[in-house]
Amino acid sequence: MKIFVLLLFSLLVNKCYSQIDTIALNTPKIFKITYLNPEKKEKISFTDYSTYNEVYLDTLTKDFLIIEHKSDTYPLMNRKLVRVPLRDIKELGYIKGDKSTFGALLGMGVGTAAGIILGVLAEKQDKLYDSRSSKSIATSTAIGFVCGTGLGYLLGGIYNDYETSELSRYDNDLSKKYSKILSIIQRGIRLNKNN
């Protein structure tokens, strides 16, 4: 009988003190976060906020979010766990793609401009020295266009593009902020299933 009462008591205590508002997330590193960081150690800084890309979200509760990001103070330590109060989170976002299109457009513009400038200089150089071979502005422009577009596309593909949401407007109502953070996390995971 004592064992039965002890077992019943332990089940009752377990139900009374269980945390139903804690969610273990263990997400991939697809998130970006900006939060108020009182431990920021930079000597010259214009803000007290810290922003980290490629963040793992570990645990979400009604009061705080535990994240794991690259350590910026200890280079030998790869990752750092941080407990961030919900009221201190300014922005949260997730990867929505890469910047390859933007890189290609930027490279196209820079490459074309460089091709035109080099073509004009080469043409003036030909006239100055009365060269038998003439350089065409169109050829240098086309080479700059193709090389700039290709290089911009490759370099832009390295960097991730993030969809971020401003959360500081929910500072007075942490339950709404909790719900908004949870919906951002679910949307980010759904969008990045294949990554």
| Counted domains in the chain | 2
Q: In this structure, which amino acid lies at residue 87?
A: R
Q: What is the pLDDT of residue 22?
A: 78
Whether residues 148 and 125 share a domain: the answer is yes
Predicted TM-score (pTM) above 0.85: no
Whether residues 80 and 18 share a domain: the answer is yes
Tokens of 95: 């990867």
| In a domain? residue 128 | yes
Whether residues 109 and 135 share a domain: the answer is yes
Whether residues 152 and 171 share a domain: the answer is no
Q: What is the pLDDT of residue 128?
A: 62
| In a domain? residue 8 | no
Whether residues 85 and 149 share a domain: the answer is no
Whether residues 109 and 151 share a domain: the answer is yes
Q: What is the pLDDT of residue 134?
A: 61
| In a domain? residue 4 | no
CATH number at residue 22: 2.30.30
Q: What is the pLDDT of residue 144?
A: 84
| In a domain? residue 6 | no
DSSP 23-83: EE----S-EEEEEE-TT---SS-S-SEEEEEEEEEEEE-SSEEEEEEE-SS-TT--EEEEE
Q: What is the pLDDT of residue 46?
A: 59
Q: What is the pLDDT of residue 17?
A: 47
Whether residues 20 and 78 share a domain: the answer is yes
For residue 93, give the 3-state DSSP assignment: strand
Whether residues 66 and 81 share a domain: the answer is yes
Mean pLDDT per block of 10 residues along the chain (195 residues) reads: 57 52 78 80 62 84 86 66 88 86 86 85 70 71 86 83 86 88 88 74
Whether residues 80 and 105 share a domain: the answer is no
Whether residues 93 and 106 share a domain: the answer is no
Instruction: Please answer whether residues 95 and 160 qualify as being in contact, where contact means their C-beta atoms are separated by less than 8 angstroms.
Output: yes
Task: Give the torsion sign (CA, 153, 157, 159, 163).
Answer: positive
Range of the domain at 131: 100-156
